Structure 1
């Protein structure tokens, strides 16, 4: 059972727009499923490469990044303008490609002239993230549409692209900050007493008192109060909210709030990332190895063998028992893995996987909630069963 302190940490992480991560202690983790993964997180972001069952690509993730360290990742926001004939455009759209390119060019000029990106996204963008300022989040190279990818990884911070044509429309893209750090002060409750207490805190901040010292003294979150209110170094995501959203929207040194949440009232100060301990940086990469077991009665149009669902589950359970008994995961993957892209030849190695990677199978989402060395599974998938190990 989680302690009250662990529950508070989990709640604060969720308020920051991240995932609460109560870690499994060691060894085998319980069977996982995709329950709790939002539909939006399973849907590829606009501009993401469409998923296919290509024998040259893994069933679980693409690309497979087998570098020593996690690769570079960058953040972006965009305007997506659809035209008649673009992929996913409503039947009501009558604007031609030429008209859309002209509009995109005009919007780009407005942005360069200082127009508010979020306002233009809300007014013109057809993307699901239009109401969130057009923010797509953070991505490694090779995940987004090649035209967007090429711009993002050659752009300077703040640079705005020329109109980029992809199957889903015309995009105007801006590279934005990836990281933002914050300190916070929590006053529990939302009633008159809490609001009066927060007003007194704000008066002291406005009078020039040191925010970190004040957080240590008055914040009612004992965990962050002990480190001067340090909340974390946040990475830009596609659905940032509350504390995390407020941090990215603030200037360095700016104090914002109070922000109301189920925990109470929060006062946030954005600080330079180097001011906080590096251990507070959000970690969204995992080095992963998997054993994929395909069953013959899968509904997907992929090559299958003669093993039905019952036999596949029995094999998965037998392999899990052998791993728990000490057998090497990679060696078993070399013998049994059915994944595409030479799954046995790479001993199940999926390389580095990013938490919000749109080309990642939702069945892998649980791997970010466990410590290195933990094995999850057997886990049911649309193609059969699998076992997954977090290695780093």
Structure 2
């Protein structure tokens, strides 16, 4: 027989569940009026009114404009108060730093960028990125608290701890506690993920497809992939899913920066193209790339891609070979994963159709007909804010879909409520 305390706990749990559901329905735009909320949740009119009043009192919702009538009085819409807090995004690349500030609905309010070599190490890199974010925050008048921080890095990450794990192009970063360093600076919960996962989440937010099966393949200084299965990001048990840059290339003897021989990155990534372009220039091959070798920042993956688009023979040769090898790896993903969309991004893919045509050809040659029947292979939109939008999407997902019950009653998230006292003190 149920005790009075157990019944009271069950009732409180039901109230919390329905309250969270109401806030999230309004936040995501699935239901924004009281009648819509009642229809979606199945809650009675009186209960809906109570939950909305509680959500307004806690500061999550407020009344908005009148919605179109479906008969009878005009219903007043509700809006999620996305301006109550801020999100900070630190998108760290191999050769770039990009930081941004976003509202709680994922809108990027401001951003900044600078060139940076991530091999300078975690302390200097994070300090520079956090300083850039601090400058952005100082330019905003309103004193809104930071609710969460995203950090994207170009290497494998243990998502549960926020620590990179033997990242090949990030010397000195192995097992560095990124999360702790950034939480101490901003006083807000931090999530750290692989940069390609953030790009996949950016695609999800842009496409707004209910059940999206997508692979985002980034071919830049390194090579990696992010997987969306039915719109859910697949990180794998330890966060290593999608690390295709270290698949073996047949007959390759190229030494990879991970220490192994014959990795895809060692043959097709941006740093491999820079290496081969440098060798060709030393050998005296005619190329416009020779003109930029005197500049320390001149011979880059971006420079090679642009030269290919301008018709440089050496650059085209390098880009097409990279695309063929990447296409072979993607073909394996298509056969195993059967996505609806392959999105190709990154500095090397900036060569456009020169790169993409080769990828398509190899994928269709090597994949099963059924797996490619409805497959689209496209380039990313190339928006420099993509990793920022993906970072905001990742934090919003963690705040409102994963940890919301832990801090909802407090009105805002804290490190302690997200991590738990035992974890945060560990």
TM-score normalised over the length of structure 2: 0.19
Report the structure, 1 or 2, having the larger strand content.
1
> If each structure's helix is expressed as a fraction of its own residues, which one has the higher value?
2
Q: TM-score, normalised by structure 1?
A: 0.20
* Structure possessing the higher relative contact order (Cα contacts under 8 Å, 6 or more residues apart): 1
